[in-house]
């Protein structure tokens, strides 16, 4: 859905309620809603159950709770204002490749 600036944070070590935050930016409430609906549809097809959703149709911040993963979809001003990346600055950022697929992990060197 062409959400921008997608960031995945491993917050499991800091927060017992979930393991990962996925944070992304949309252009307006309609774009956020369409992105949320596509995420929900795709994960439902894969058997992932949604626990909760912020369902306000004109919201500038949508939250999708899938248990181990919480997705935050923001308009740019709201994302800057709430600055979740800054709030969770100690959380490890998970590297992601193109088209939402995990980036290849570098091969670990064998210990000598």
The number of folded domains in the chain is 1
Instruction: Tell me whether residue 111 is in a domain.
Output: no
Confidence of residue 92 (pLDDT cuts 50, 70, 90): very high
Instruction: Tell me whether residue 112 is in a domain.
Output: no
Confidence of residue 109 (pLDDT cuts 50, 70, 90): very low
Instruction: Tell me whether residue 75 is in a domain.
Output: yes
Instruction: Tell me whether residue 107 is in a domain.
Output: no
Ramachandran sector of residue 38 (left: φ over 0; alpha: ψ -120 to 50; beta: rest): alpha
Average pLDDT over residues 72-76: 96
pLDDT tens column, 10-54: 999 999 999 999 999 999 999 999 999 999 999 999 999 888 876
- Please give the residue range of the domain that contains residue 63: 4-99
Is the Cβ–Cβ distance between 22 and 6 less than 8 Å?
Answer: yes
CA-wise closest residue to 51 among 31, 68, 30, 74: 68
**Can you give the CATH number for the domain in which 83 is found?**
3.30.460.10
Instruction: Tell me whether residue 33 is in a domain.
Output: yes
CA distances from 39 to 18, 64, 91 (A): 18, 9, 23
**pLDDT the model gives residue 64:** 94
């Amino acid at each position: 859905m062409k959400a921008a600036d997608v960031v995945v944070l491993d917050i499991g070590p800091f927060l017992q309620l979930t393991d990962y935050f996925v944070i992304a930016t949309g252009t307006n409430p309609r774009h956020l809603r369409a992105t949320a609906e596509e995420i929900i549809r795709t994960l439902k097809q894969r058997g992932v159950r949604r626990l909760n959703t912020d369902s306000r149709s004109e919201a500038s911040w949508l939250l999708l709770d899938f248990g181990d993963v919480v997705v935050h979809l923001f308009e740019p001003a709201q994302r800057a204002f709430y600055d979740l990346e800054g709030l969770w600055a100690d959380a490890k950022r998970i590297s992601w490749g193109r088209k939402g697929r995990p980036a290849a992990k570098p091969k670990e060197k064998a210990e000598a």
